[in-house]
Amino acid sequence: MKPHRMKGATTVEFALGLLVFLMLVLGIVDFARMLFTWNAANEATRAGARYAVVCDDTGQQAAVLARMQALLPQISTVDVAWIPAACTAATCEGVTVSITGLDYQWISPIVGAAAPLIPMPGFSTFLPREVMRADPHSAAICS
């Protein structure tokens, strides 16, 4: 004779197991998103520095930020330092582009509740100045 109280035990065990499995999968996906954001911020910094040294936009920090936000829209603070300071297109030796204040937002239910925003480290790239607009391949980056 089968006891009637065991009918839903399998369903409850499956629900508990599924909950643990989904939390693990979401944690893995969230960690992958964080690595993607890290890589995209690094690439955006490189692309912003490339734009700054190729195009004749000395001192145009907003144009560099717009170029970087095309790759990673979460970027809100960018620092463009021309070397030497207050140089012109003819006298600049290079540029350092940095991202600061970039935070990562977890979407996993457990981790997201404990740490809603995780500050990412600063990203910085230095590139020496190129001959502005003299490179036949540079027109695409400046337009």
pLDDT in tens, 94-103: 888 999 888 8
- Model pTM? 0.74
**Helix/strand/coil (H/E/C) assignment for every residue in 82-126:** EECCCCCCCCCCEEEEEECCCEEECCCHHHHHHCCEEECCCEEEE
Averaged pLDDT, 73-83: 86
Cα 124 to the center of its chain, rounded Å: 12
pLDDT value for 10: 85
| Tens digit of each residue's pLDDT (9 = 90 or more) over 92-143 | 788 889 998 888 888 776 665 666 778 888 899 998 876 555 555 555 556 5
Q: In this prediction, what percent of the chain has a pLDDT beyond 90? A: 15
